[in-house]
Amino acid sequence: MPSDPARQPGRDLALVLSRAERLMVARLSELLAAEDCSVEQWRVLSAVADGGGHPMTEIADYALMPAPSLTKLVDRMVADNLVYRRADPGDRRRVLLHMAARGRILHQRAAHRVAEDHARVLAALGDGGDLAAALSRLADVAGDTSHAHLAG
């Protein structure tokens, strides 16, 4: 291959984003391994870190996991006393996931490491928060199936 398209800005946006995502997740995985935590566990803990109970469908969307895989992961996390399930008081048929005390401790320790690393990455880019905002807007535009934003 004469040149790496992932290193040519604007040539293949999806490729560049995929490469950056893969590298950032690998970096995150290495950081979290020091806390004996997987990226998927981290995402689940982050989803319930606000102290409220959350339905599994919401957590699956946040954690970017299919529901069956999330259920298996949450079963293991319940067994490890990181999270617990409770019936939704507003709809007893629905189950909400909550963070257990042990999960909160793990999340707090890992969050410190993750925040420091993200700050280092953004500082190396000279970014003051613009990148995350731009990527959020990109996700919104890319997810807009109406394509109205593309009309000229």
In whole angstroms, give the CA distance from residue 45 to residue 104: 8
Band the pLDDT of 29: cuts 50, 70, 90. very high
Quote the pTM value. Answer: 0.83
In whole angstroms, give the CA distance from residue 19 to residue 67: 25
Q: Which two tokens stand for residue 5?
A: 């398209």
Q: Which two tokens stand for residue 125?
A: 């880019």
Report how far Cα 48 is from the mean position of its chain's Cα atoms. 12
- pLDDT higher for 132 or 68? 68
Mean local confidence (pLDDT), 32-61: 96
Domains identified in the chain and CATH numbers: 7-141 (1.10.10.10)
Predicted local distance difference test score (pLDDT) of residue 83: 98
CA-to-CA separations, 15 to 5, 9, 12, 99, 137, in angstroms, rounded = 8, 10, 5, 36, 18
Band the pLDDT of 24: cuts 50, 70, 90. very high
Amino acid at 83: V
Predicted local distance difference test score (pLDDT) of residue 9: 56
Predicted local distance difference test score (pLDDT) of residue 152: 45
Q: Which of 64, 57, 49, 50 is nearest to 95 (CA)?
A: 57
